[in-house]
Amino acid sequence: MKAYKFLKDDYKSGSGDEPPWVEGEKRIYEGKVVICKSGHHSSPTWYNALKYAPGSVAAIVEVSPPLDKQEDKYASAECTVIKMRNVEYVLREWGIRCAERALKRANVTDERSWNALTVARMYNDGFADKYDLDAAWAAA
């Protein structure tokens, strides 16, 4: 079944000593599968997977039927990475847009808050550095 997961930026899973994942690779967990403890973990939606993201690499996976599950998370014995991509830029942009909506809803008029989002977007686009970002955050 199709599912979703996030990997660390080095393409490794969030826990354990596994090597980096490679597209098309299938892994089989041989022990007892227990959610949050063992097996290959994934989620039914991107939004659910984001809650457990250890990094910015998004992966579409094919998993065997879950042997243990909760509403937002699966634990399976088999997992194959179908496609993966570093989505750090997209996640930052999404965070900026969420913050913009929150400021609008709260009727925030303080320019320092709005400037922090402008600098965050500039940072995301490569036109500001970490120092600029930290300064804008501190000012807000």
Tokens of 120: 């965050």
Is the torsion defined by CA of 109, 102, 54, 7 positive or negative?
Answer: negative
Confidence of residue 14 (pLDDT cuts 50, 70, 90): confident
Quote the longest CA-to-CA distance of the chain. 57
Check pLDDT > 90 for residue 52. Answer: yes
**Mind listing the pLDDT tens digit for each residue in 82-107?**
999 999 999 999 999 999 999 999 99
This prediction has a pTM of 0.84
